[in-house]
Amino acid sequence: MALPPYATTGQRVWHYTFRVICGLIFFFLIAPIVVVIPLSFNSQDFFTFTKEMLSFDPAGYSLKHYRDFFSNPDWQDALWNSVKIAPAATILSVSLGTLAAIGLSQPHVPARRAIMATLISPMIVPLIISAAGMYFFYSRIGLAGTYWGVVLAHAALGIPFVIITVTATLVGFDRSLTRAAANMGADPVTTFFRVQMPLILPGVISGALFAFITSFDEVVVVIFVGSAKQQTLPWQMFTGLREQISPTILAVATILVAISIALLTTVELLRRRSERLRGMSPG
Amino acid sequence: MSDTTDTGGPVLAADGTPLKRSLARALRRQKMRALLLIAPLLLFILISFILPVADMLYRSVKNGIVAETLPRTVVAIADWDADSGELPSEAVYAAMAADLKEAAAAKTHTKVGTRLNYENPGISSLFRKTGRKAKKFDIEGVASWKDELIDINKDWGDIDNWRTIQTYSPRVTSGYFLNAVDMRVGTDGAELRPEAERIYMNLLGRTLWMSLAITVCCILLAYPVAWILANLPMRQANILMILVLLPFWTSLLVRTSAWKILLQQQGVINDILVWVGLVDDSARLVIINNQFGTIVAMTHILLPFMILPMYSVMQTIPPSYLRAAKSLGATDWTAFWRVYFPQTVPGIGAGSILVFILAIGYYITPALVGGTKGTFISNQIAFHISSSLNWGLASALGAILLAVVLVLYWAYDKIVGIDNVKLG
């Protein structure tokens, strides 16, 4: 990557221009997310930087949008609904998904490709189609507008992520370990919980975090399948952005960014741990 | 001690069965165990996802309402020849009167009117108005229902209305699909709608070209970033990788609202442009609620899906290839274009299909930053489900969108393989 000492002027110019271009693209990627954070401390109800903010006058900053978020019953109900729905959907998709991923990684699985394509399809099918189908079908079986209807729908959407991360971890799993455990007299259940599970745990947790964030951020399906009683945080944001755009959204956005930073850090640490366990360089 | 080569019989396993059969049984058991582990999830996906989508597809052709609400009329009108230029016979009118009386008592006559109104605008008021009087119909007491009905509403004497009823009396219809591709059943079978009523093909075309524009923008922006990530030392690359993964993990609504705030006329971008002096304060740019806003916001949202597959392909290309090309006399450009670029094509392909599939079905972002000119077909589907309540048309549009996506999914599976999808 470093510029060789014999580089011509043209090569030098291009080298630095290229870095500037890359820098601009990285800026494009990250700036919209970062810009929300200072704006959320605005003491005015504006969506742009005020003069006071630009001169770093403390009077230009306040926590009033955060206060509104934590005191407004609409936002609190939405937060509470999200917190109730996402973990239930995650548990459902992780337990079923891990089991199936172990099944899929066996050496002889009939119609493996077709099964895999079916299990990944909720990620590929446009959300509006899933939402429409679930709305029609769940109303027919009495699940529409109920807590369990939303949980079921979100679990289905989270499954592809669990399948992908757990099968990826299982690719590096050494099968002779389970055979060794069986050889020493462990039954399959013991082998699973004492030998296989601890080794694939990083992948399972990554999958769980993906499933959690899928449900926690999901808005299209919940709008159609849920009723006002299941109004989640993203749903509330969506209506907020559509109808009366209030700066409280900025505070919510900042909190959600903080949550995603926490989740991203966890997933990265787990990925490195998993690669170390498999003897690959952690990088 | 017996020598197995002498016996000449099949090779036996420890329990005395032939080895071949014993192995086959073990294999079968292994397959069963794998399937048993997968079965619960497969069943779950079937109930919570596949059946709902199938139900939606069925709705796009389902048309039970006419036959259920007007059973006698449907039977009576079957023999009528719409092209004869004559109104249906007296029996058809009598059947219609009897059906309407029952439907009005059950209050279902407006539903059938609404259904037929999708195909023949205006017919719903005919059903509504006649329905009001239908409860008091004395079926036996009227000599000619033909005259009576036409007397109540002269539209019963319009052949076109009867043609619509006859055309949509079967339980399965292609009407919604024809509607979704801007066609209708005319006198000589399917025909295109008048120019002014053609909305959906335009919308589908716009969805496709905007998705394509987003994909191209993503390729152009992702390529340099993927290259620099693949060629920097591991430690620096990992730090820069966070800048790619953070947007990937951030809520879609956060990113969309960020763009909504940035692109507003009183937003940050316009403020900066005014401050720099590029734009006059009175002539702030309109960069939201149009196609530009949708393309910018969606390029930003989908960019990580392009960078990650490109990066994983570029990582596997040894840098010595480029050095070899240069030592053989290639210029920087030739070495890149003839040696490096062809090897990155699989990454571009994988990323492009993924971005295109995701873009074509987007709903939230176009709904929030697209205005009226920058919306996608998904927004029209949502409109028909929640506002116009024409679920059949929504399902038909959904089925067309699903078909496009499934073809691309199939291509993705052939080119990349779904097993190779990686996250982060």
Residue A44 belongs to some domain of the structure: no
The whole-number average pLDDT for the span A110-114 is 86
SS3 content of chain B, % helix, strand, coil (to 5): 70, 5, 25
The whole-number average pLDDT for the span A235-261 is 87
pLDDT of residue B420: 66
pLDDT of residue B412: 86
* Per-residue tokens: A66: 């955060």
pLDDT of residue A279: 63
The whole-number average pLDDT for the span A18-31 is 94
Separation CA A29–CA A51 (nearest Å)? 26
The answer to whether residue A37 neighbours chain B at the CB level (below 8 Å) is no
* Per-residue tokens: B296: 């910018």
B304 vs A contacts (CB less than 8 Å): 29
Interfacial B residues in 326-385 facing A (CB < 8 Å) = 332, 357, 360-364, 367-368, 378, 381-382, 385
pLDDT of residue B288: 83
Residue A266 belongs to some domain of the structure: yes
CATH of the domain at A247: 1.10.3720.10
Residue A229 belongs to some domain of the structure: yes
pLDDT of residue B7: 55
pLDDT of residue B115: 85
What are A179-223's pLDDT values in tens digits?
899 899 999 889 888 888 888 888 899 899 999 999 999 999 999
* CB neighbourhood size of A23 (10 A): 11
Q: How confident is the model at residue A44 (pLDDT cuts 50, 70, 90)?
A: confident
Considering only the beta carbons, identify the residue of A48, A138, A165 that sits closest to B423. Answer: A165
Residue in chain A lying closest to B58 (CA) = A133
Considering only the beta carbons, identify the residue of A107, A241, A264 that sits closest to B249. Answer: A264
Residue in chain A lying closest to B245 (CA) = A264
- The pTM assigned to this predicted structure is 0.85
* Per-residue tokens: A81: 């609904």
| Higher per-residue confidence, A83 vs B130 | A83
Distance from CA of A68 to the nearest CA of B (A): 18
Q: How confident is the model at residue A95 (pLDDT cuts 50, 70, 90)?
A: very high
Q: Number of folded domains in chain A?
A: 1
Expressed as residue numbers, the domain containing A212 is 72-277
Taking 70 as the pLDDT cut, the residues of chain B under it are 1-8, 187-188, 419-424
Burial B373-396 (b: 16+ CB within 10 A, else e): ebbbbbbbbbebbeeeebbbbbbb
Q: How far is CA B216 from the centre of its chain?
A: 21
The angle, 0 to 180 degrees and rounded to 10, between the axes of the packed helices A73-104 and A197-217 is 140
pLDDT of residue B187: 67
Distance from CA of B379 to the nearest CA of A (A): 8
Query: Of A87, A130, A65, which Cα lies nearest the Cα of A232?
Result: A87
The answer to whether residue A213 neighbours chain B at the CB level (below 8 Å) is yes
Burial class (CB in 10 A: 0-12, 13-18, 19+), B36: exposed
Checking if the pLDDT of A237 tops 60, the result is yes
Residue A42 belongs to some domain of the structure: no
Mean pLDDT, chain B, integer: 86
> What length does chain A have?
283
Q: How confident is the model at residue A248 (pLDDT cuts 50, 70, 90)?
A: confident
Residue in chain B lying closest to A169 (CA) = B422
Q: Which helix (H) or strand (E) holds B191?
A: strand B189-192
Q: Which helix (H) or strand (E) holds B192?
A: strand B189-192
Residue A37 belongs to some domain of the structure: no
Residue A26 belongs to some domain of the structure: no
Interface touch A22/B224, C-beta < 8 Å: yes
pLDDT of residue A283: 40
pLDDT of residue B2: 47
What residue has token string 């929504």?
Answer: B394
Separation CA B99–CA B94 (nearest Å)? 9
Considering only the beta carbons, identify the residue of B50, B363, B421 that sits closest to A127. Answer: B363
Residue in chain A lying closest to B396 (CA) = A129
Separation CA B113–CA B122 (nearest Å)? 9
pLDDT of residue A112: 87
Residue A51 belongs to some domain of the structure: no
pLDDT of residue A172: 75
Residue A38 belongs to some domain of the structure: no
The answer to whether residue B264 neighbours chain A at the CB level (below 8 Å) is yes
> What is the ipTM for the molecules in this complex?
0.87
CA distances from B398 to A112, A179, B376 (A): 28, 49, 12
